[in-house]
């Protein structure tokens, strides 16, 4: 299956998956009912799209503030180009890190690796950053703390 072979049912499944699935213990049955196909077909198609890479993953989006995770720090790290992959892999596997991206050098420091860290307190966020820096031997970084959540939605690829 490739992106060129998506039919109306596949697009309907993708449309449903990009939205909220709460409200039922059997979301795939509900999607199937809306698309006039059995739940088993919905699950089979989702598996095919996962296996082919059309869908990278299915996951929950946590409303972190409501969950008591009140501090978010975007850490901009200056990493030697020959260590980006190594350090990026290490950082991406730290539980408090939800995003880990390489970007072109940014700002006066020239930071090129960005991580988003979520913590219940500013102090805990700082401890996490300090541990990360020591773990990989980095000294150049800056932390940008979130002040206010302005928008939180999933990406939309298909319209109803």
Domains along the chain with CATH numbers: 3-52 (1.10.10), 71-145 (3.30.70.920)
Q: What is the band of 50 on the pLDDT scale with cuts at 50, 70, 90?
A: very high
Mean pLDDT value of segment 13-25: 83
pLDDT digits (tens, 9 = 90+) for 112-136: 999 999 888 899 999 999 999 999 9
Provide the pLDDT for residue 154: 64
Mean pLDDT taken over the chain:
88
Q: What is the band of 1 on the pLDDT scale with cuts at 50, 70, 90?
A: very low
Query: Environment class of residue 91 by beta-carbon count within 10 Å: exposed (0-12), middle (13-18) or buried (19+)?
Result: buried
Q: Is residue 2 over pLDDT 60?
A: no
Mean pLDDT value of segment 4-21: 87
Q: Is residue 54 over pLDDT 50?
A: yes
Provide the pLDDT for residue 10: 94
CA distances from 139 to 15, 80, 88, 131 (A): 44, 12, 15, 11
Mean pLDDT value of segment 138-159: 78
Provide the pLDDT for residue 78: 96
DSSP track, 63-117: -TTTTT--EEEEEEE---GGGHHHHHHHHHTSTTEEEEEEEEEETTTTEEEEEEE
Provide the pLDDT for residue 81: 95
Cβ atoms 158, 15 nearer than 8 A: yes
């Amino acid at each position: 299956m490739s992106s060129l072979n998506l039919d109306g049912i596949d697009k309907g499944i993708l449309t449903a998956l990009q939205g909220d699935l709460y409200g039922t213990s059997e979301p795939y049955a509900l999607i199937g009912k809306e698309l006039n196909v059995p739940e088993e077909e919905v699950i089979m198609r989702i598996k095919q799209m996962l296996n082919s890479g059309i869908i990278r993953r299915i996951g929950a989006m946590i409303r972190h503030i409501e969950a008591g995770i009140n501090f978010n720090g975007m850490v901009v790290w200056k990493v030697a180009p020959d260590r980006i992959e190594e350090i990026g892999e290490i950082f991406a596997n730290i539980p408090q890190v939800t995003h880990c991206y390489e970007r072109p050098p940014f700002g006066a420091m020239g930071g090129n690796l960005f991580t988003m860290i979520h913590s219940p307190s500013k102090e805990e966020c700082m401890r996490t950053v300090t541990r990360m820096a020591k773990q990989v031997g980095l000294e150049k970084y800056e932390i940008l703390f979130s002040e206010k959540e302005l928008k939180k939605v999933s990406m939309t690829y298909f319209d109803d």
